[in-house]
Chains A and B, each alone.
Chain A
């Protein structure tokens, strides 16, 4: 897994397009380089939604963005194991919910990617 790592000066990150990500780092240019495949400004905004967070260093934003990228990759590859065991080529929601359920490390995602129940089951539970 080789993320396309290039320097990013501005906090308003311009996401590298295919060209940018293939460029080697160039000196002399105010090179548009990306450290993670997520817009840093957006990541920073999400981080600041926490009222306790006051100031954030640029390095911290980059690391959080990178970590989020790792998380997505991690989730995808774990979920895919469920896809494979079911002989499918399409990664479905249930593969993700199964992944979240099966590993403690994904506990924080339990409410975001819950297991879905059949409507009938939920209804009968309600009626009891």
Chain B
């Protein structure tokens, strides 16, 4: 059986396919297993395929997101670009999870910011008896 190593570039012609980029096999494997029943086994061929697929997907999505950023004349890739790109590549089914992740991230960032504010108040007065707490 002839198998060719996939040195072929991904669909995006912009990506540099000469360098090797990969993701930790264990993580990819764990993610794949999550959506499969416990007793299902994965052979090493398929594990490799999952890993490569994920890498190529990242490049593909990034290129699409970069297009979005360019359209909006921005040089920084933002969350909105990724979300718009997801629609472009017809994988809007992922959007719900993505929006949820974004929500959690932004909430945590806001909390961290609030905590930093609290800590500043604490450090100003060494004998802290009162801590200003800002309810969300």
- Partner-B contacts on A (CB < 8 A): 1, 3, 5, 7, 9, 15, 25, 27-28, 33, 35-39, 42-43, 45-47, 49-57, 59-60, 62-64, 66-77, 79-80, 83, 89-93, 95-97, 104-105, 107-109, 111-114, 116-119, 122-123
Contacts and interface: CB of A to CB of B under 8 A. Distances in A.
Interface residues of B, number: 77
Interface in B89-112: 89-91, 93-94, 97-98, 100-102, 104-106, 108-109, 111-112
A92 B101 contact: no
B27 A15 contact: yes
A126 to B, nearest CB: 10
Given A49-B21, A73-B31, A7 B108 contact: yes
8 contacts: A27-B115, A33-B108, A46-B59, A50-B62, A52-B70, A69-B31, A93-B43, A111-B9
Given A42-B24, A53-B77, A92 B83 contact: no
A67 B61 contact: yes
A33 B101 CA distance: 12
Contacts of A45: 21
Contacts of B106: 59
